Amino acid sequence: MKRFSMTVVIVFAAMLYCCAQIQVFPLTEQNVKIKKNSCIYYLPQTTLEIKMKVSKQTLTPGPYYKYAEKYLSIKNVPAVVSSDISIDDVQINKMQQPDPNACFMVVSDREANIVYNNKGIIVGYNCGNPSMSCSDMESHFTKEADFQTPLFTDYGVKRNFIGNTDTTYKVVEIDSVFQKIPIYNTVIVSKDEEMKAEEAANYIIKIRKRMFKILTGQFETDTPPSDIDLMISELKEMEKRYLELFIGKITKQTVEYVFYYTPQSDLVEERVPICYITSDDEVVSKKTESSEPVYLTLKNSNAAKEVSNFYGRQYDLKKKEKKMGLYYRIPSEVMLSVEFDDFTYYNGMTTVPQCGYLGHLPAEIFKNKNLKVEFDEKYGSIKGVFTK
């Protein structure tokens, strides 16, 4: 009888050794202690990367705007700087990061074979090394225009200086006769603004005359030039540059802003400002008196609501606490929109794991030494459970 009891004990101990007993605890529990053969893993969370391309058009008055009507008969030219801002494009990408609120400790009677990616996110249990492709978040800020360079560089084709000649007279005695001898004194001075404006206006008129002659076939030779289109194009470009000295110049600056936002696990519906646009058409990160917010709106579709309710009822029916196996997620779909000044610039839907259901596998199934579990590293969901 004693021999039989000893045999039963040995067989039972051997069965326990062959069965990898595990238990999983959330690290948020206060009484969790590090034990032998314990390890820690994360489930992923999604961080939204919002890329917003903004264009700002600025109209700068020309240096000769005061003389536009006098020399070119152009009225109502701009006299002050004005600007206009527009959101050209909005894109939302997803970045996967370890969720600090979904960190777990695995306690096993022997070493647990858990596979991670390079950020500590679980990708498998008792599996080989699957492909790992989590992306890093990299802030970047790009400009496609630079307002530091001079806006107006071509002011005319003539010299900027003019010679002013002053005439004085000197009385000299020649053969007992007094005579007035003129003395000329030439001083080089810079042309005043109106003089420069008149020269620029005359040059515009000269360009227009040249274009008129080409368009009406008034050539110096009987054979017209072969590159008439190119000549007209170049003359129009010259006319444009000189006209800008009177009517002003429009410059465009395009800037790409990148913002990051991480939805919370208890998300139902949320509207958060990601930046502000001021009355001066500047994008700022903090609210000012004259700014309007650019909103990111999120709405949880509650795709995993029924699953969560079902498991919640099951836990309420159980009288004793069960051991927990590996935790996993059933992700939820979140509707996204980006709005500014009552206009929607982006509408879409994306999968956000932390807004779904957080569950766990039964600890009992891990007694099977052939058990394999594969996780989706982007969402923390279970891709497959294999027993062979």
Whether residue 145 lies inside any domain: the answer is: no
What local confidence, expressed as pLDDT, does residue 316 receive?
56
What local confidence, expressed as pLDDT, does residue 355 receive?
92
Measured from the Cβ of residue 356, the count of other Cβ atoms closer than 10 Å reads 26
Query: Residue 5 pLDDT > 70, yes or no?
Result: no
- HSE value, Cβ hemisphere, 13 Å, CA-based, for 34: 2
Report angle CA 286, 289, 290 to the nearest 5 degrees: 95
Q: Which of 112, 135, 105 is nearest to 33 (CA)?
A: 105
What local confidence, expressed as pLDDT, does residue 218 receive?
85
What local confidence, expressed as pLDDT, does residue 13 receive?
41
What are the pLDDT digits (tens) for 139-158? 444 444 444 567 777 666 67
What local confidence, expressed as pLDDT, does residue 166 receive?
75
What local confidence, expressed as pLDDT, does residue 141 receive?
43
Whether residue 82 lies inside any domain: the answer is: no
What local confidence, expressed as pLDDT, does residue 227 receive?
87
Query: Residue 134 pLDDT > 50, yes or no?
Result: no
- Report the percent of the chain where pLDDT is more than 90: 49
| Separation CA 89–CA 222 (nearest Å) | 54
What local confidence, expressed as pLDDT, does residue 376 receive?
93
What local confidence, expressed as pLDDT, does residue 3 receive?
47
**Strand locations in the chain (E):** 22-26, 38-60, 82-108, 114-116, 122-125, 142-143, 161-174, 177-190, 249-261, 269-278, 283-284, 291-300, 324-340, 343-362, 372-375, 382-386
Whether residue 182 lies inside any domain: the answer is: yes
Range of the domain at 220: 161-251
What are the pLDDT digits (tens) for 56-103? 999 999 999 999 999 999 999 999 999 999 999 999 999 999 999 999
Whether residue 190 lies inside any domain: the answer is: yes
What local confidence, expressed as pLDDT, does residue 312 receive?
61
Mean pLDDT of the chain: 82
What local confidence, expressed as pLDDT, does residue 148 receive?
55
Longest alpha-carbon distance in the chain: 165
Q: What is the mean pLDDT of residues 41-68?
A: 95
Whether residue 225 lies inside any domain: the answer is: yes
Question: Which of the residue ranges 33-42, 128-137, 288-297, 300-309 has the most confident prediction, judged by mean pLDDT?
Answer: 288-297
Q: Which of 328, 246, 212, 235 is nearest to 75 (CA)?
A: 246
Question: Which residues are paired to 54 by β-bridges?
Answer: 87, 255
Q: Give me the torsion for CA of 230, 232, 234, 238, rounded to 10°.
A: 180
Whose tokens are 């679980």? That residue is 122
Whether residue 4 lies inside any domain: the answer is: no
Strand order in the sheet with 269-278: 283-284, 269-278, 291-300, 324-340, 343-362
- Report the percent of the chain where pLDDT is more than 70: 82
pLDDT band (50, 70, 90) for residue 31? confident
Contact by Cβ (8 Å): 247, 237: no
Question: Which residues are paired to 55 by β-bridges?
Answer: 86, 254
What local confidence, expressed as pLDDT, does residue 320 receive?
54
Q: What is the mean pLDDT of residues 192-207?
A: 92
- The better pLDDT of the pair 200, 309 is held by 200
Query: Residue 30 pLDDT > 90, yes or no?
Result: no
Alpha-carbon distances, residue 50 vs 2, 44, 337, 341 (angstroms):
72, 19, 11, 18
User: How far is the first Cα of the chain from the last one, in angstroms, to the nearest whole number?
Assistant: 38
* Total count of domains within the chain: 1
Residues 6+ positions from 87 with CB-CB distance below 8 Å: 52, 53, 54, 294, 340, 345
Burial 107-146 (b: 16+ CB within 10 A, else e): bbeeebebbbbeeebbbbbbbeeeeeebeeeeeeeeeeee
Whether residue 342 lies inside any domain: the answer is: no
What are the pLDDT digits (tens) for 8-17? 334 334 444 4
What are the pLDDT digits (tens) for 244-290? 999 999 999 999 999 999 999 888 899 999 999 999 899 998 998 88
Q: What is the mean pLDDT of residues 334-357?
A: 94
Contact by Cβ (8 Å): 14, 365: no
pLDDT band (50, 70, 90) for residue 219? confident
Q: What is the mean pLDDT of residues 8-28?
A: 58
What local confidence, expressed as pLDDT, does residue 311 receive?
62
| Separation CA 223–CA 207 (nearest Å) | 22
What are the pLDDT digits (tens) for 313-325? 566 556 555 688 8
Whether residue 238 lies inside any domain: the answer is: yes
What local confidence, expressed as pLDDT, does residue 55 receive?
95
DSSP string computed for 102-143: EEEEEEESS---EEE-TTSBEEEES-------PPPP----EE
